Amino acid sequence: MTFDQNTLPDNPYLLLTPGPLSTTKGVKAAMLRDWCTWDRDYNELVQSIRHKLVGISAENPEGYTSVLMQGSGSFSVEAVIGTVVPRDGKLAILTNGAYGNRIVQMANVLNIANVVLDFGEISPAEPEKLDTLLKSDPSITHVAVVHCETTTGMLNPIAEVGKIAKEYGKVFIVDAMSSFGGVEMDIAALQIDFLISSANKCIQGVPGFGFVLAKEEELIKCKGQARSLSLDLVDQWQAMEDQQGKWRYTSPTHVVRAFYQAMLELEEEGGVSARADRYLTSQRTLVEGMEQIGFRTLLTRDHQSPIITSFYYPEESAFTFAGFYERLKKEGFVIYPGKISAADTFRIGNIGHVFPEDMERLVKAIERNRFWL
Ligand SMILES: *Cc1c(COP(=O)(O)O)cnc(C)c1O
């Protein structure tokens, strides 16, 4: 099936936000037809997506499976948290931003016993603190951490965290929402039991569903544990397995078709390593350009992800984010406000159909806009 992409209008601006993000015309064009949710063609598409997701998750992904779940990414995080921690379980959550804190909120709403290791807003998670905690509290059964904390752009040391979680025999959960597909990782080598991401991040699809990569033997153990019917991860997986690509309840068909196209385009680009290279080059181009015109990053380079970067507001007292945002939008760039309390920052994302040249154009536009303050 091909679509005439030339009839699609150009977007009025580039989204430099960490999802929804700028997608290709191919991805948008893929949504221009309707699908039946129980039709074989559609279900085969779903199976292919599930298979491809597992395929890019590890060098040797044997023993891993994938589940797709309706809703935004948080719904998939909640499906994992609410399904995999048993009634008598206890979850340790390492947090340094809004998305780690959201997992804490979920655990509290779902009445899941939890312990929080809070590292503030601008420091990475410290594996040693987890070691101390797990030593002192053997009742902990599960450990959760966010890989790229999109709040700031912080990349947490999931390899070290996972190593400790596994030394103590805990189930290891990673919210890799904004990094999966855009940063090279191997879930088998990282010993991750449950990894969560969504359609509208580094795979470069449109919003509408999330997905979970799970170690199958761990997933099966969770049968009957879910605290929600719609967000029962095992039931959803079982339906997809038994009925070969069938979702429980209505699936976001157009979004799924667009995601399939996005997966093909990821392959065409050269896979995750090529995409990770592009993101890294874009992010470096952005930071070097911004530093040249006087901006400073919130995080040091060693903790910085290639996904999204936080910048301090410039010194000029006349600077307002609202004014800056509007001027950049007129130039064709949409940026993101900051989200932390410790400092005044704004954020620029570089995932999506965005290239190092776009970063150069952006820096030039920002330089021009500074004179209008
Ligand atoms: C985007 C994101 C989520 C999910 O957010 P939604 O708005 O529910 O899609 C969760 N965790 C991280 C780290 C994210 O970047």
Backbone angles phi, psi at 91, to 5 degrees: -105, 125
Which residue owns the Cα nearest ligand 1 atom 2? 177
Identity of the amino acid at 267: E
pLDDT on residue 340: 86
DSSP 8-state assignment for residue 184: -
Burial readout 70-93 (b: 16 or more C-beta within 10 A, e: otherwise): bbbbbbbbbbbbbbbbeeebbbbb
Looking at per-residue pLDDT, the higher value among 370 and 34 belongs to: 34
Please tell me the least confidently modeled range out of 15-19, 104-108, 143-147, 308-312: 15-19
pLDDT on residue 7: 73
Element (H, E) at 159: helix 158-167
Between CA 140 and CA 81 the distance in angstroms is 14
**2: confidence class by pLDDT, cuts 50, 70, 90:** low
The partner residues of 114 in beta bridges, in order of sequence, read 91
Tell me the best of 102, 105, 178, 305 to mutate to test the pocket of ligand 1, counting ligand atoms within 8 Å of each CB and taking the most: 178
Which residue owns the Cα nearest ligand 1 atom 4? 73
**Of 158, 167, 166, 211, whose CA–CA distance to 185 is shortest?**
158
**49: confidence class by pLDDT, cuts 50, 70, 90:** very high
**Of 265, 100, 253, whose CA–CA distance to 181 is shortest?**
265
Identity of the amino acid at 307: I
365 Cα–ligand 1 center, Å: 29
Given the candidates 3.10.20.30, 3.90.1150.10, 1.10.3720.10, 3.40.50.150, the CATH classification of the domain at 271-368 is 3.90.1150.10
Q: Which atom of ligand 1 is nearest to the CA of 148?
A: 13
Looking at per-residue pLDDT, the higher value among 143 and 319 belongs to: 143
Q: Which atom of ligand 1 is nearest to the CA of 77?
A: 10
> Mean per-residue pLDDT for 74-95?
98
Does position 6 have pLDDT exceeding 80, yes or no?
Answer: no
Q: Which atom of ligand 1 is nearest to the CA of 176?
A: 13
> Mean per-residue pLDDT for 311-329?
91
pTM of the model: 0.96
138 Cα–ligand 1 center, Å: 30
Tell me the best of 69, 72, 93, 183 to mutate to test the pocket of ligand 1, counting ligand atoms within 8 Å of each CB and taking the most: 72
For the chain, the distance separating the N- and C-terminal CA atoms, rounded to the nearest angstrom, is 50
73 Cα–ligand 1 center, Å: 5
**Could you report the per-residue pLDDT of 156-201, keeping only the tens digit for each?**
999 999 999 999 999 999 999 999 999 999 999 999 999 999 999 9
pLDDT on residue 3: 58
- Helices 356-370, 321-330: inter-axial angle, 10-degree rounding: 120
Which residue owns the Cα nearest ligand 1 atom 12? 177
pLDDT on residue 369: 80
CATH code of domain 34-267: 3.40.640.10
99 Cα–ligand 1 center, Å: 7
pLDDT on residue 207: 98
pLDDT on residue 371: 57
81 Cα–ligand 1 center, Å: 14
Q: Which atom of ligand 1 is nearest to the CA of 147?
A: 13
pLDDT on residue 9: 76
367 Cα–ligand 1 center, Å: 31
Identity of the amino acid at 149: E
Domain ranges of the chain: 34-267, 271-368
Q: Is 102 annotated as a binding residue?
A: no
**1: confidence class by pLDDT, cuts 50, 70, 90:** low
pLDDT on residue 315: 86
Per-chain mean pLDDT for the chain: 95
pLDDT on residue 36: 85
- List pocket residues of ligand 1, CB cut-off 6 Å: 18-19, 72-74, 77, 99, 146, 150, 175, 177-178, 198
Between CA 348 and CA 324 the distance in angstroms is 13
pLDDT on residue 4: 67
